[in-house]
Each structure stands twice: as structure tokens, then as C-alpha cells.
Structure 1
Amino acid sequence: PATMQITPADALLLEEYASAFTVTGFDWNLSADRSSVEIVGAPVVLSAEEALGAMERFMDELSNMGDLSESKILKVLALELATKSAKSTVNIEALEALKQQLFSSTNPRIGPNGKKIITELQQDDLV
């Protein structure tokens, strides 16, 4: 997992808007002294290094935004991930292998750690 140093203000933002990050696939552990965050989960289109960079950019964006509505945060996160996804290439064999692993599971919506890996969004969630 990647680790990044954060400020107390960043820690507050992470805690306050945790659900927005979680919906997009990020998961982290905040250190006891709240000075760093360990990224333990990220959207599949991001490598560990890219996830760290994305989190840093998200934190910068959040600290500079006047409107911190969850809707606005989700739009910023979605734009970053969509941009990355458009640049990402995955070979068909790797994609098929991932799909087979996922659907051979007894419960493909829950990961081995007990956390949801698939979240269904309704149209209202996207606006």
C-alpha cells in the first residue's frame, strides 16, 4: 500500500467526505496521529503510484474548493478516473481472467476482506 503525509486539515476532509471517496473505490487507513494515510484500496484503473497521485490531487482540489458538496467532490473524482480510464489499456486475456475470477466467487460483490467491490449507482446518484 502507498502512504502519503497529510495535514490535520486534510485528515478532517478525508473523514468528512469518506463516503465520496469510498464510492469511487478508494479505501485507506488514517494513522493514529492523523499525520499520514495509507491507501489500501483504489479504483482498478489506477496503479498504486497513480492512486497516490490521484489522492494527492483530490486533496489539493478539496482544499481549494469553495463548494464542498458531495456532488461536486464526486464530479472531480469521476473526471480524474474517467481521464485515467480513457488512457488505460488492458489486454483482452487479462480482462477475461479478471472476469472469470470475479464471477467464480460465491459472492462476487464482496471482496476477500469483506468489503463491497461492486456498487450499483442509480441515475439520481450521478447527478
Structure 2
Amino acid sequence: MSTTGKLKIMIVTIALALVCGTVNAQPRRWYHRPHKVVTVVSRPAVTIHVSNRFSQKERLAMVIAYLETHEYLTIKKYVQMTKLAKATAETELDAFAMDKNKPVKVVIRGKKKVYIKND
């Protein structure tokens, strides 16, 4: 074999070694992932309507009774008392505070909105 042929083989070998080293340095891609089972439910088998235990009048009475013994009422405490969603509880307390006939008033203390008894 001539020196030119040996030189070509050596250059190709070095090039392959460099290319293989670069390929091994690339992040691995896993194309063969295990299959996931997905269940599509179009409608629930049993529909349950969850209603609140208390009417709005009863909840207002709860607020007034609570404010008789405590300085203020927070939204979080009202949610615990009535089991309403936080947004619903806040809206209802705001409605109580906006009505002039109801003895509830809204006050901002720092970053919290609290409700007090309107004297």
C-alpha cells in the first residue's frame, strides 16, 4: 500500500473517532417510551348534586352570632363555617356588607379584608 492510501485511511479513522466522540456527547433521546393507558369519560356514571346545608338567611344569622362574640370575621373562617367555596363566600359576605339593612360592615386591615359588626 502506498503512503497516500495509508494517509487516507488514517484521516478517515481520525474523522470517525471525532464524529463518534461528538455523537456520544449528545444528550440521549428516548423514543421508545412505555405506553400510557388513557381513559376517556364522556359523562359521569352517577351525578351527585351537592347543595349547601344552610340557606342564606341561616348563614347571615351565623355571621351575626359569630360577630357577637368575636371582633371580626375573615373569609377563611367563613369558608370553614359554611363549607362554601372561597370566591362564593367572599361574594356573599360582600353582599351582606353592601346591604344597609344588615349589620355587617367590611373593613380593610393591612392586606386582609375582614367583616365587623356595624354598630
TM-score bucket (shorter structure): under 0.3
TM-score in terms of structure 2 length: 0.21
